[in-house]
Chains A and B, each alone.
Chain A
Amino acid sequence: MTLAPPLNPPSALRRIINVMRLHLVNKSVYIGIPWMIVAGALAVSVIITLLLRYVSGETEFPGMAYSWAVVSPLWYLIAAGVLAISTTLPFALGFSITRTDFYLGTSLLFVTVSAANALAMATLVEIEQATGGWWIGTIMFSALWFGGQTWIVNVLGFLVIQLFIFFVGALFAAVYLRWRVMGSVLLWFGVAAAIIGAVTIIVLTDSWVSVVGWLTTQTTAALLGWLAVPVALAALAGYFIVRRATPKN
């Protein structure tokens, strides 16, 4: 005779939300540090602007749009995405969390954090433009190709790029967790091969000009939309890899 389990798990939704809370219990990782980096980048941009104003007497610096300072937190987000899987997954398994709940909760985390950040960043773009570059002509958020569109496109753009970074980072971490160095090396080779393969095909079929032509006709919004495809693929692949992951010692 077997017993029924005495404790019932909370609903699936509750469990998934709890995983998201787990990632956020240490606020610094997904909130504190990224925004500190943004604040730091802004501070540096302001200082540079002030110096340039002092030195040159100019009040507008369109060249600053090329500084890409706005991209600075994204490098850190790569690490965050990797760590979400590499250290938090083994810990979650120790807390008796299923891999499915964990992956769904982590995905929810990525989407929520990216969305909140995207809304904030897009709004900062508006404020920057409205105040004429923080009153001194600093261009950080409204950088040339990034954040220089309508508010909604900016939101979607920031969103898709962050999701890409998170899910691709998580995918690499999942591959490493499951197949260690061998697997990671194969993944890199695979990605490199795919890119080289695509370029080779384009060159051999002499379609370089038409491909570049097509790319330049796409609006930023459309390009960002295309980026959503690898995001979805990475997210899906990550799930299937995590499903058979074990906490190696």
Chain B
Amino acid sequence: MTAMQPVRPPAHPPKARPDARPMQMALGAGGIAALSALAAAIVLPPRSAAPVSATQNQQSQATDSQPSPTPIQLVRPIRYVQLSPGETAPPGATVIDASAPTPITVIVNVPAPAAPKAAAQTPTVIKTTQSGKVIP
């Protein structure tokens, strides 16, 4: 016969464990927010840290035909400006009439030079070339 040993109560009652669910929800929400910010940073085009003035922005839109992956400052002369009523042109700008026809540049095709005639044509001694061209 075995004697039943009395169950002793622990010296210190166990502490009540806090409910983990609120913390898990908070961590989950924070993770989702971080992922969203990271995705936005990847998808959006890079921007200059420095503020861009309105003039610079207009020049970029006017002259940059292709999107550039890096911030480029363009300082090209303004060639043509069309003014709305009450506006004045910036210094040095050329103002054209909005109703004026678009300028057209005429070009011509150049025929190949005639074959040298042995007696009549002197060979050209002087040539214009791209830089670095070796002329024998």
| B partners with A | no
